[in-house]
Amino acid sequence: MKIGVLAVQGDFEAHGKTLERLGVHPWFVRRASDMESLQGIILPGGESTTQWKFLQAEGLDRALCQGAAGGMAIFGTCAGAILLAKEVRNPAQESLGLLDVVLSRNGYGRQVDSDVRFGESKLSAEALEMVFIRAPIFEEMGPEVKVLAENEGKPVMVQQGKVLASTFHPELTGDSTVHEYFLKLAGN
Ligand code: GLN
């Protein structure tokens, strides 16, 4: 299975380590040609404004949209979820528009609080450990978007077709449930 991790900025190495733990080699993606024949790609947390500039400069924005249209699975965590959104607010910025959600970047504690919580999800019977670091908030969702996990009544992980997004960081815990779910999605 060929799975990429966008490696321009942010915590891509932690995603790489989680994939390795699951026996999958991470292909670090820095330019559009690195995306050849990927079945899935992870967009890590970090700073979405910086990441967006890289995506545009390298033509990775177009390559990601083409990949998604061709059936590639995409998992965005935190800043990666912001990149996937149809609309980004507070402050507004451009994004890929591959996930029918409106995300507010002015999320938990005006983007300063970090927090570890446990919450229910549709992925397993066990509670998921959720690490929030300046997390954005899903404010609106289109009819095709499914909520996979909530925290305090708000969605924190959603899926639309082969696009998965979480506002928390599963790569920063020892629990690989979310990555396993993504790998299944990418393999289908
Ligand atoms: N709020 C950050 C942003 O706008 C994302 C934070 C994160 O990825 N941990 O990019």
CATH code of residue 171: 3.40.50.880
Structural domain boundaries, residue 10 = 3-187
171 is catalytic: yes
Q: How many Å lie between the centroid of ligand 1 and the Cα of residue 70?
A: 28
Tell me how many domains the chain contains. Answer: 1
15 is catalytic: no
- Give the number of the atom of ligand 1 that is nearest the alpha carbon of residue 107: 1
**pLDDT tens digits for the chain (188 residues)?**
999 999 999 999 999 999 999 999 999 999 999 999 999 999 999 999 999 999 999 999 999 999 999 999 999 999 999 999 999 999 999 999 999 999 999 766 444 467 888 989 999 999 999 999 889 999 999 999 999 999 888 899 999 999 999 999 999 999 999 999 999 999 98
Determine the Cα–Cα distance for residues 81 and 147; give it in Å rounded to an integer: 14
Task: Give pairs for 60-67: CB < 8 Å, separation 24+.
Answer: 60/6, 60/8, 60/29, 60/31, 60/32, 60/35, 61/96, 62/32, 63/32, 63/35, 64/35, 64/96, 64/98, 65/96, 65/98, 67/35, 67/38, 67/41
